Chain A
């Protein structure tokens, strides 16, 4: 949208190097496939791809507006107009579901390599967009790009081993970890590896700090908040939660519950399988709950907070200019307001002016009755109900206390996505809203 000659001059060198790197990477991959893996077909595919990357590199280095490879404007506009918190969340959920369901397909090295190349190519093409580059190449945000790829890689490695193990278990064979149980010594094998990693990471950080220095901003002032004001990247998930909850819940209760829940895991887990080896089939419930909590409720929120939340914490498409004047209608109301005013068409129950403290509290309870009822049903009635229906086997194996802890932790975890959905669909602000005592839920 704002593509100017200056920007293209700046980014051309980077893009040229980037595409050359992609070409080199695929060239090496093709060589290994050809000589070591004996797969000349794939080798041919990736060497052709490497050739294309070399062409893109030379085009990018031209730094001319008509030559630098970029996504068509129509595609960018479409992406911008489609993207929003709802689509983002639903899209990532669908993506993770797809990756999980078709994991046998996606763990194949050539498929994973294709996906990696596709995303890297997409990143390169998007980088030619000034607005996209301005966000992604910000020194603060570069690590998040690294995080996305690192996480994808490690998840792929683990999933691959799990898929192989599941296949072996199905065939009645021992798991890979049992077969290859060669042990190495802590000294010198591990300690040397750690030493080398330490030196390598220090060198990397040094180079990084030289080339991507941390931004220095204006002096802090208690009456001037930067716009947008962002938490450190690892707390952006928390900041996103705070959009939907009161600070005491999203900032204190939920994070404590995350820590508590992680600590409780070994005591709640009654499944003795999957100990010391990767497996998904044998621990499907644990795997899915953990991955949902980690990827959907933490990582995607970090990515959302880093790349897609702009001034005034509005949602911006990936190719959108971050203007602080974007108008978004986000009006929302509390449940009591909705219940009494919109549905029953009567004013909120309010204590008379000269009422005593007890009477005021009584009126507050009356006002919040629908919300309290909903939360009561959710946290008190639902666990036993689940115990006799969907979690019958769990309840039998875990016993009362462990089951209750597990089900309540799970329900509290699910308050986040449920609250997000309620905010998007019916513009609900708080289910229980007692601003008199700063108690909102």
Chain B
């Protein structure tokens, strides 16, 4: 394809005209060097394409052949056999291919009427040279009519003759439509069934989805909660001597019960065992008298006030009160935060 681009307009015209006048020999020497240089140029994209041509250099296709190929719009289809044959036996097949091609082309040439504009048009079209005019197409395309017709539609042809093929197809369609109500019914049936399948499917899907969502919603409100009750009793006040942090309720309830001095008042309070930094469970270190978190090293005093590490606020307190039977009762559903001033709330402690 590249070699066509390289030819000058004059060459193309000369070649075409010479061909018409059936005197190709005169033009050959002029055109040949051009073609040869094009063949050997590195711009050639694939060696395979170039190979047959250079292999049969003695019987190289003439410019007119190349042009004819270009015009025929079947440059590729015609070259195709050449390509596939080339690896098998280069010299003879290449010759044969050229030889086989020539009669077709020359036969076509005779039928075809060409003008300068259409030749140039085809040559300039470059990579996709179709038949120059539509009238040409049937002449070329006797063996393979379909591609030629398609190409003809794409090329910019000066005279546009009526399109018998299309009319025919329209007619056929009309005829078909008029004739076969049965086929429409069949299609309709198909659409009906498929449509109903879709409808059934989507209905089923949405119903399932709805039921699932409802089930999920129900799941969040179980009939029975396997949780310890939020309110529980830990024994009488006397069980919590002054200055002691009771850790035996940590495993079951997650609280420390502390009897200690807070802001001058001796109180019993329940501290939540959740670090205010990221929620780990701190450990009570008796020797150091502090709660220490194993995750990031936050430390809290006995009263729950944070003093080291990254914890931004004190531990939280749970509600605590003296129940009717005199025992201490802790209610985990209510918590009190020091930074919000809630530790002043009498519900957050019991005076020891």
Give A residues with C-beta under 8 Å from B.
221-229, 239, 242-247, 251, 311-314, 324-325, 327, 329-332, 353, 429-430, 433, 435-436, 438, 440
Q: In chain A, what residue has the closest Cβ to B297?
A: A313
Docked Cα-Cα span, A244 to B297, in Å, equals: 10
Ordered by A's residue number, 17 sampled pairs between the chains whose C-beta atoms are within 8 Å are: A221-B251, A223-B254, A223-B273, A229-B280, A242-B296, A243-B296, A244-B310, A245-B310, A251-B278, A311-B294, A313-B297, A313-B309, A314-B297, A324-B283, A324-B285, A330-B297, A430-B312
Q: Which residues of A contact B282 (CB under 8 A)?
A: 225
Task: Decide if B198 is an interface residue (CB 8 Å cutoff).
Answer: no
Docked Cα-Cα span, A351 to B294, in Å, equals: 35
Docked Cα-Cα span, A313 to B280, in Å, equals: 12
Task: Decide if B266 is an interface residue (CB 8 Å cutoff).
Answer: no
Docked Cα-Cα span, A430 to B251, in Å, equals: 32
**B167 → chain A closest CB, angstroms:** 52
Q: Which residues of B contact A429 (CB under 8 A)?
A: 310, 312
Q: Are B296 and A435 in contact (CB under 8 A)?
A: no
Task: Decide if B293 is an interface residue (CB 8 Å cutoff).
Answer: yes
B294 is contacted by which of A225, A244, A246, A327 (Cβ under 8 Å)? Answer: A225
Q: Are B308 and A331 in contact (CB under 8 A)?
A: yes
Q: Which residues of B contact A247 (CB under 8 A)?
A: 277-278
Q: Are A243 and B297 in contact (CB under 8 A)?
A: yes
Task: Decide if B340 is an interface residue (CB 8 Å cutoff).
Answer: yes
Given contacts A242-B277, A325-B287, contact A330 B309 (CB under 8 A): yes
Given contacts A225-B280, A227-B294, A229-B280, contact A243 B285 (CB under 8 A): no
Q: Are A239 and B295 in contact (CB under 8 A)?
A: yes
**B310 → chain A closest CB, angstroms:** 6
Q: Which residues of B contact A312 (CB under 8 A)?
A: 283, 285, 292-294, 297
Task: Decide if B345 is an interface residue (CB 8 Å cutoff).
Answer: no
Q: In chain B, what residue has the closest Cβ to A351?
A: B341
Q: Are B251 and A243 in contact (CB under 8 A)?
A: no
Q: Are A227 and B283 in contact (CB under 8 A)?
A: yes
Q: In chain B, what residue has the closest Cβ to A429?
A: B310
**B290 → chain A closest CB, angstroms:** 9
- Given contacts A243-B310, A330-B309, A430-B312, 5 further A-B pairs with CB under 8 A are A242-B277, A242-B278, A312-B285, A313-B309, A327-B288
| Interface flags, B299-315, vs A, CB<8A=1, else 0 | 10000000111101100
Q: Are A225 and B339 in contact (CB under 8 A)?
A: no
Q: Are A438 and B312 in contact (CB under 8 A)?
A: yes
Q: Which residues of A contact B283 (CB under 8 A)?
A: 227, 312, 324
Q: How large is the interface on B (under 10, 10 to 19, 20 to 34, 35 or more residues)?
A: 20 to 34
Q: Are A242 and B339 in contact (CB under 8 A)?
A: no
Q: Which residues of A contact B293 (CB under 8 A)?
A: 225, 312-313
Docked Cα-Cα span, A440 to B312, in Å, equals: 7
Task: Decide if B250 is an interface residue (CB 8 Å cutoff).
Answer: yes
Task: Decide if B54 is an interface residue (CB 8 Å cutoff).
Answer: no
Q: Which residues of B contact A225 (CB under 8 A)?
A: 280-282, 293-295
A223 is contacted by which of B281, B292, B297, B340 (Cβ under 8 Å)? Answer: B281
Q: Which residues of A contact B254 (CB under 8 A)?
A: 222-223
Q: Which residues of A contact B251 (CB under 8 A)?
A: 221, 223-224
Q: Which residues of A contact B277 (CB under 8 A)?
A: 242, 246-247
Q: Which residues of B contact A430 (CB under 8 A)?
A: 312
Q: Which residues of A contact B307 (CB under 8 A)?
A: 331-332
Docked Cα-Cα span, A33 to B254, in Å, equals: 65
Q: In chain B, what residue has the closest Cβ to A433?
A: B312
Q: In chain B, what residue has the closest Cβ to A327?
A: B288
Q: Are B294 and A228 in contact (CB under 8 A)?
A: yes
Q: Which residues of B contact A327 (CB under 8 A)?
A: 287-288
Q: Are A313 and B294 in contact (CB under 8 A)?
A: yes
Docked Cα-Cα span, A353 to B342, in Å, equals: 11
**B180 → chain A closest CB, angstroms:** 53
Given contacts A223-B250, A223-B273, contact A229 B294 (CB under 8 A): yes
Q: Are A436 and B312 in contact (CB under 8 A)?
A: no
Docked Cα-Cα span, A149 to B339, in Å, equals: 48
Q: Which residues of A contact B281 (CB under 8 A)?
A: 222-225
Q: Are B309 and A243 in contact (CB under 8 A)?
A: yes
Q: Which residues of A contact B297 (CB under 8 A)?
A: 243, 312-314, 330
Q: Which residues of B contact A332 (CB under 8 A)?
A: 307-309
Q: Are B312 and A330 in contact (CB under 8 A)?
A: no
**A425 → chain B closest CB, angstroms:** 16
Q: In chain A, what residue has the closest Cβ to B282?
A: A225
Q: Which residues of B contact A329 (CB under 8 A)?
A: 308
**A225 → chain B closest CB, angstroms:** 4
Docked Cα-Cα span, A330 to B285, in Å, equals: 15
Q: Are A436 and B310 in contact (CB under 8 A)?
A: no
Q: Are A313 and B295 in contact (CB under 8 A)?
A: yes
Docked Cα-Cα span, A225 to B340, in Å, equals: 28
The 6 closest A-B pairs by CB, nearest first: A313-B297, A435-B313, A227-B294, A330-B308, A435-B339, A225-B280
Q: Which residues of A contact B299 (CB under 8 A)?
A: 330
Q: Which residues of B contact A313 (CB under 8 A)?
A: 293-297, 309
Q: Which residues of A contact B294 (CB under 8 A)?
A: 225-229, 311-313
Docked Cα-Cα span, A266 to B283, in Å, equals: 47
Q: Which residues of B contact A224 (CB under 8 A)?
A: 251, 281
Q: Which residues of B contact A246 (CB under 8 A)?
A: 277, 310, 312
Q: In chain A, what residue has the closest Cβ to B337?
A: A435
Q: Would you list which residues of chain B between 193 and 230 have a CB under 8 Å from chain A?
A: none
Q: Which residues of B contact A433 (CB under 8 A)?
A: 312
Q: Would you list which residues of chain B between 267 and 289 have a CB under 8 Å from chain A?
A: 273, 277-278, 280-283, 285, 287-288
Q: In chain B, what residue has the closest Cβ to A250?
A: B310
**A147 → chain B closest CB, angstroms:** 23
Q: Which residues of A contact B278 (CB under 8 A)?
A: 242, 247, 251
Given contacts A245-B310, A331-B307, contact A436 B339 (CB under 8 A): yes
Q: Which residues of B contact A311 (CB under 8 A)?
A: 294
**A86 → chain B closest CB, angstroms:** 15
Q: Which residues of B contact A222 (CB under 8 A)?
A: 254, 281
Q: In chain A, what residue has the closest Cβ to B253?
A: A223
**A303 → chain B closest CB, angstroms:** 17
Q: Which residues of B contact A221 (CB under 8 A)?
A: 251
Q: Are A325 and B285 in contact (CB under 8 A)?
A: yes
**A141 → chain B closest CB, angstroms:** 17
**A108 → chain B closest CB, angstroms:** 42
Q: Which residues of A contact B339 (CB under 8 A)?
A: 435-436
Q: In chain A, what residue has the closest Cβ to B292?
A: A312
Q: In chain A, what residue has the closest Cβ to B308?
A: A330
A229 is contacted by which of B285, B295, B312 (Cβ under 8 Å)? Answer: B295
Q: Which residues of B contact A223 (CB under 8 A)?
A: 250-251, 254, 273, 281
Docked Cα-Cα span, A366 to B277, in Å, equals: 25
**B273 → chain A closest CB, angstroms:** 6
Docked Cα-Cα span, A222 to B312, in Å, equals: 21
**A202 → chain B closest CB, angstroms:** 35
Docked Cα-Cα span, A243 to B299, in Å, equals: 12
Q: In chain B, what residue has the closest Cβ to A333?
A: B307
**B338 → chain A closest CB, angstroms:** 9
**B348 → chain A closest CB, angstroms:** 16
